[in-house]
A and B are shown apart, each in its own frame.
Chain A
Amino acid sequence: MIALVRLRLAGFLRTGRALAPALAGLLALGVLYGGGRAQPAEAYGVSAVVLFPVLAWQTKILLDVEPDVQRRLAQVVLGPARERAAGLLAAAVAALGTVAVALVLPWLVGGVAGPAAPGDRSVLAGVLLGFWAHLLALPGAVALGALASRAVTRTAGYGVAVLALGAVGVLVLGLSGSVVPWLVPPLLPAARALAGHLGPTTGLLLSGWAAAWSAVVLTGYAWARRSRA
């Protein structure tokens, strides 16, 4: 299965189609950090929200770059479960690379600053919490991207619709006061928590929420792939 993960990552990186989401991500982060310095945890919380659609789009491209017949060949060789797992794993590895860039970038462009006032979090705590916020976004974004992939949606139009619905849903349904916030991963609630005080209970609750949301969407992906070669 690892060999297939490597093959798919190589295919994704060599076609050049990886460039579009990478540039979009850089642009979004550039806009985010262009406005001045912020505390790391707070900035990373917003960065995770911004990166969610980018990671989902990147996942869709990674899965779609492989021709359909090649995907079927991999399925014959490895079996359906491992073929699908390899695709998700390759997407997760690629997403981790993007997250690493997102964590480093603000330090390079001066978008974040160390603690300025008493009570501010340390730099290390800020970076760790930022990493956590991005990890909340990653599995949900991979799951959404997989659900939007050609193997499920078959046409470009449906694929874009699934991506757009997920990305807009995270923003709209994640607003404070939303009636059905649990319909989307808790990225805006996490960003709000990182701007203020984040207790361990809230952290655990948000982690469980993100994991459960991703599990539901991944189950939908696995179910949809059952009848589609």
Chain B
Amino acid sequence: MRLEDVWLRYHRRGPWVLREIDVRIEPGEVAVVLGRNGVGKSTLLQLAAGVLRPSRGRVVERPPVVGWVPERFPADQPFTAGAYLAAMGRVAGLPGPAADRAVRRWVDRLGLGRFHDVRLPQLSKGTAQKVGLAQALLRPPGLLVLDEPWEGLDAAARDLVPEVIGEVLAGGGAVLVSDHRGETVRLPGARQWSVAGGTVTEQSPTGEPAVAVVELAVPAAAVAAAVARLRADGHHVLRVRDHPVPPPATRPGPPVDPSAPERPDPAAPEVTR
């Protein structure tokens, strides 16, 4: 899919939000859209998904099945989660039984089982976000557009997002994902589109493999030995710090430093132990 010389403004005579955008993404590729709040990341994603129409230029070769996960799922609707997903499956062109099967599959996968009969307005933000994710995947999308998909999700669901992206890529789909929390470190090998000043620039790959940060909890007495072992295995130990209560699980969490920059540099991770 290509965006060819795309310009966008929301009102006639309004300021240009995006200018001269020329980007392309091929099947099997994932691109991460990075940038500060309000620079037009969501606008770019909505142009790609077909929500917005370019004021100038055109979007070509958009796959026929597009899944869009909006930044905030519209939970103010008088349906239960299960009924809503089944209806969206039918809207997407799935016949009744196939829609029901797809809903069951994604409800189980995303841990929405006990919310199946809960009305959408009563769902928590994270659970509603999962419903938003599920509706985009009911039909395997040729283009999956995820707008801050990690927002509000619990640790288990956050881990699932890269897994789902991997499946879409393996199925020949393309994925566009925006992120301002540094979660896209979970997507090694992704192309990086940087939005700033109304334009999009692709950050050229550095040639080095992407780096991920793993936080470990180690008994204090064994720190020295653990650090030595990790270094011996070729890992780069960035920092050792105290942690009064060991975390109960070994799942990787998001970067915890609230002062983290909006665009994380994978070569300079925040914390490790």
Partner-B contacts on A (CB < 8 A): 3-4, 6-7, 10-11, 14-15, 66-70, 72-80, 226-227, 229
Mark out the residues of chain B between 26 and 59 whose CB falls within 8 Å of any chain A CB in the assembled complex. 46, 49-53, 55
Interface residues of B, dominant DSSP: loop
Say yes or no: A74 contacts B74, CB within 8 Å: no
Chain B interface residue count, CB cutoff 8 Å, equals 25
Chain A contact residues: over half helix, strand or loop, or mixed?
helix
Interfacial chain B residues near A6, Cβ < 8 Å = 87, 90
Answer whether residue B115 sits at the interface, using C-beta atoms and an 8 A cutoff. no
* Chain B residues numbered 78-96 whose CB sits less than 8 Å from any CB in chain A: 78-79, 87-88, 90-92
**B interface list, Cβ under 8 A from A:** 12, 46, 49-53, 55, 66-68, 70, 72-74, 76-79, 87-88, 90-92, 135
* Chain B nearest Cβ from A72, distance in angstroms: 5
Using Cβ atoms and an 8 Å threshold, which residues of chain A touch B135? 73
In the complex, which of the residues A15, A73, A75, A229 has the most CB atoms of chain B within 10 Å of its own CB atom?
A73
23 A-B contacts (beta carbon < 8 Å): A3-B90, A6-B87, A7-B87, A7-B91, A10-B78, A10-B79, A11-B78, A14-B78, A14-B79, A15-B78, A67-B76, A69-B73, A70-B74, A72-B51, A73-B68, A73-B88, A74-B91, A76-B50, A76-B51, A77-B91, A80-B53, A229-B51, A229-B52
How many whole Å from A44's CB to the nearest CB in chain B?
34
- A168–B155 Cα distance when bound, in Å, is 57
Contact of B49 among A11, A66, A74, A76 (CB under 8 A): A76
Q: In whole angstroms, how far apart are the Cα atoms of A151 and B248 in the complex? A: 48
Which residues of B lie under 8 Å from residue A10 when comparing CB positions?
78-79, 87
> Chain B residues near A67 (CB, 8 Å)?
74, 76-77
Can you name 14 extra interface pairs (CB under 8 A) apart from A10-B87, A15-B78, A67-B74? Answer: A3-B91, A4-B91, A11-B77, A14-B78, A67-B77, A68-B74, A69-B70, A69-B72, A75-B50, A76-B68, A77-B66, A78-B91, A80-B53, A226-B53
Closest-by-CB residue of A relative to B119 is: A14
Residue contact B51 to A75, C-beta cutoff 8 Å: yes
B74 cross-chain contacts in A, Cβ below 8 A: 67-70, 73
- Chain B residues whose C-beta falls within 8 Å of the C-beta of A80 in the assembled complex: 50, 53
CB contacts (< 8 Å) of A74 on chain B: these are 91
CB distance from B21 to the nearest CB of A (A): 17
**B46 adjacent to A229 (CB under 8 Å):** yes
Task: Please give me the residue from chain A that is nearest to B99 by CB atom.
Answer: A3
Measured between beta carbons, the chain A residues less than 8 angstroms from B88 are 7, 73, 77
**Which residues from chain A contact B67 at a C-beta distance below 8 Å?**
76
Q: Are B90 and A79 closer than 8 Å at their CB atoms? A: no
Q: Give chain A nearest CB distance to B98 CB in angstroms.
A: 12
Q: CA–CA, A78 to B92, complex, Å?
A: 7
Closest partner residue, chain B, to A16 (CB atom) = B78
Q: What residue in chain B is nearest A4 (Cβ atoms)?
A: B91
A227 to B8: give the CA distance in the assembly, Å: 10
**A72 partner residues in chain B, CB cutoff 8 A:** 46, 51, 68, 70
